[in-house]
Structure 1
Amino acid sequence: MRVAGMNWMQMEARVRADDRCVLPIGSVEQHAYLSLATDMTLAERVALEAAGPLDVPVFPVLPYGLASGFTAFPGTVSLRLSTYLSVVSDILDSLYRTGFRRILIVNGHGGNTPVTAQISEWLNGHEGARVRFHDWWRAPKTWAKVIEIDPAASHASWMENFPWTRLEGVTLPEEAKSRIDFDLLAQGGAADKRALLGDGNYHGLYQRPDVEMEALWAVAVEETRALLTHGWL
């Protein structure tokens, strides 16, 4: 359930009955021909669809993340690492004060993973808290489905091209993009990365049939829901 559809009294009653909640986190950054909001959109949507049948509260997505490598692309927004770690810690503090003890963070952006070290420190100071950090797109079952469909899958390629991330009136290239040199990409700053990436896709086709994307999405939602229902410490 969306937190936006609850008041504080309903929240208080809910957390007394169930101490689980979901925090989606994403990024606003270049995704070639797809929406700049792709990562935040996918993280929030998979969280909502996974948690919906369980009546687990889903907080609004944290839209901005760590995207310094893409700042040469217009529209990309990136927080400093220190800022981001502080923001996530402050959010977790608020969830803990409310009474949540089992928190699932659904991450939609690979660049955000440094926050896991901060979460580890945070847990040491919050007795009884449990936090699971879930990269939804590269979780085992979801990634296996990606590979089954097409191993040439990457940032801003077909694997992020869903009806809710593509843009009306934008024509995508029909040919697959050759794999970029990841070693070179890691060496330079944002301007170098833009020069190497061109349109922003790392490699692979830009779009695949929606029937395949629906199958992939179903796996992602089911795998995310399983984390809410099983395996808590």
Structure 2
Amino acid sequence: MRIQDMNWGQVEARVAQDDRCVVPLGSIEQHAYLSLATDMILAERVSVDAAQPTGVPVFPCLPYGMAAGFAAFPGTVTLRLRTYLAVVEDLLDSVYRAGFRRILLVNGHGGNTPVNPLLAEWMNERRDASVKLHDWWRAPRTMAKVVATDPAASHASWMENFPWTRLEGATVPNFSKERIDFAATARVDAWRKRERIAEGNYHGVFQRPDADMLAIWQVAVDETRHEIEHGWH
């Protein structure tokens, strides 16, 4: 259930019976020919689809993350590390104050993972709470399905090209891009990185058949639902 479809009284009644909630984390950044909001769209959608039969509330996705490496691409929004950690801490404090004690963060952007030390510190101060960070796209079963489909999968490649991340009128190329030099892009600023990665795909084809994508999506939804339902103790 989306939290936007509830009022405060319903939340209060719900948390008295079940203290679980889901908070998706995204990013607004270049994804080659796909939506700049790809990470936000996917994190929130997989959360909602996974939580739907459980009744667990899903908060709106935090759209902005840490994407400094893509700062040279227009439309990318990036928060500084200290800003992001402060925002996530305030989010956790807010849902905790509402009574939620089991909080699943469904993350859609690899650049957000430095939040892990904050989660450990936060739980040390609230020993009755449990927080899990679930990187949905690289969770074991989902990534195994991706690799079985096509091991040449990466940022802004086919593996993020779902019907709901495509843009009308944005023509997607039909070739397989060579793998970028990750070491070379890691040691330069965002503007030189942009020169080295061109449109933004890291490697692989830009699109695969919808049947492949929907099969991967079902695995991702099931795996995310398992995180909602299990492993809290």
Q: Which TM-score bucket, shorter chain as reference?
A: over 0.9
Tell me how far apart the structure 2 counterparts of residues 221 and 33 of structure 1 sit (CA, whole Å).
24
Q: Which letter maps to 2:148?
A: E
> How does the TM-score come out when normalised to structure 1?
0.99
Cα distance per residue 1:145-204 (max 9 Å; x no partner): 000000000000000000000001111110010000011011011011101100000000
Across the aligned residues of Structure 1 and Structure 2, the Cα RMSD in angstroms comes to: 0.5
Secondary structure of residue in 2 paired with 1:202? coil
Counterpart of 2:47 in structure 1 is 47
What is the identity percentage for the equivalent residue pairs of Structure 1 and Structure 2? Answer: 66
Tell me how far apart the structure 2 counterparts of residues 192 and 66 of structure 1 sit (CA, whole Å).
18
Tell me how far apart the structure 2 counterparts of residues 121 and 67 of structure 1 sit (CA, whole Å).
23
Cα distance per residue 1:10-52 (max 9 Å; x no partner): 0000000000000000000000000000000000000000001
Counterpart of 1:83 in structure 2 is 83
Shift of 1:231: 1.2
- Aligned pairs for 1:1-233 (under 5 A) are 1-233=1-233
Tell me how far apart the structure 2 counterparts of residues 147 and 131 of structure 1 sit (CA, whole Å).
28
Secondary structure of residue in 1 paired with 2:23? strand
Secondary structure of residue in 2 paired with 1:105? strand
Moved over 2 A (4+): none
Q: Which letter maps to 2:107?
A: N
Q: Which letter maps to 1:167?
A: L
**Number of residue pairs matched?**
233
Tell me how far apart the structure 2 counterparts of residues 157 and 80 of structure 1 sit (CA, whole Å).
26
Runs of 5+ consecutive residues of structure 2 not aligned to the other structure: none
Runs of 5+ consecutive residues of structure 1 not aligned to the other structure: none
Shift of 1:127: 2.2
Secondary structure of residue in 1 paired with 2:164? coil
Shift of 1:120: 0.9
Tell me how far apart the structure 2 counterparts of residues 230 and 118 of structure 1 sit (CA, whole Å).
23
> How does the TM-score come out when normalised to structure 2?
0.99
Q: Which letter maps to 2:26?
A: G
Q: Which letter maps to 2:207?
A: Q
Tell me how far apart the structure 1 counterparts of residues 53 and 185 of structure 2 sit (CA, whole Å).
41
Tell me how far apart the structure 2 counterparts of residues 170 and 36 of structure 1 sit (CA, whole Å).
12
